[in-house]
Amino acid sequence: MIEVNNLHKSFGNIQALRGVSFTAPDGMITGILGPNGAGKTTTLRILYTVLKPDQGSARVDGFDTIRSPMEVQKRIGALPDAHGLYPRLTARENIRYYGRLHGLKGSDLENKIDELVRLLEMQDIENRVTEGFSSGQRVKVAIARALVHQPQNVLLDEPTNGLDVMSTRSMRTFIRRLCDEGKCVLFSSHIMQEVSALCDHIVIIAGGEVAASGTPDQILAATGQQNLEDAFVSIIGTDEGLE
């Protein structure tokens, strides 16, 4: 469970967030939709503890990201916008490094890696060094290492960015599966169709503020539109920066 309350964040003169609040409950897929530069990545970065808000707070399973960052880090698995791998290590070694940092070891760790390798269908690449991996293969490794400690909360920043159609499809299946396991899944996207297809709960961000939030039905009702994509455009006021 993720709770975000009145987040403000500036970088120099640029106000990236001006009071973002929402809740992402367990067992649901929450999508943050917004054009590029709306504040999606900044919100996620505050949630996964690498940025501190100027004002407001963010909590994961009740732990504050500023006061107890370690507790938050133990409970989240995150795929940041930048998810580079170690090119001289194999896929398995990349995953193992993160597992060990989370305190896993021995056969327990290896079993968890085996399970993720199976789930993400990466048997053919697990023992290859990651130099020269395709973007789909890279994302798989980055997701596997982020989830090796089986976190309750999963944060994904534009997880389908740069993926081909097949990889995007399997990514969506994987996100649904996490939700079915009862996890709290929060992902950001600027692709309207993706958010419509996946999300139980939608938070629309524009200009550093929450423009609307709720279930797809609630958003349709609030805007009086027939389909979600028209509703998004009417809320944000433009379809610039959206797909």
DSSP state at residue 50: S
Q: Does 86 bind another protein (CB under 8 A)?
A: yes
CB 187 within 8 A of CB 175: yes
CA distance 93 to 129: 9
Q: Count the Cβ atoms, other than its own, within 10 Å of residue 11.
A: 9
The residue (of 125 and 235) whose beta carbon lies closer to another protein is 125
Question: What is the smallest separation between the CB atom of 197 and another protein, expressed in angstroms?
Answer: 26
Q: Does 98 bind another protein (CB under 8 A)?
A: yes
The residue (of 22 and 48) whose beta carbon lies closer to another protein is 48
Q: Does 83 bind another protein (CB under 8 A)?
A: yes
Amino acid at 116: L
CA distance 145 to 77: 8
Applying CB under 8 A, what is the total number of residues that bind another protein?
32
Q: Does 97 bind another protein (CB under 8 A)?
A: yes
**Token digits of residue 56:** 């407001």
Q: Does 50 bind another protein (CB under 8 A)?
A: yes
Contacting residue, 13, 103, 166, 240, with another protein by CB under 8 A? 103
Of 19-27, 43-51, 186-194, 212-220, the window that binds another protein (rule: CB under 8 A) is 43-51
CA-based angle 213:4:239, to the nearest 5? 40
CA distance 193 to 216: 12
Binding site for another protein (CB under 8 A): 45, 48-52, 70, 73-74, 76, 78-89, 93, 97-98, 100-103, 142, 145-146
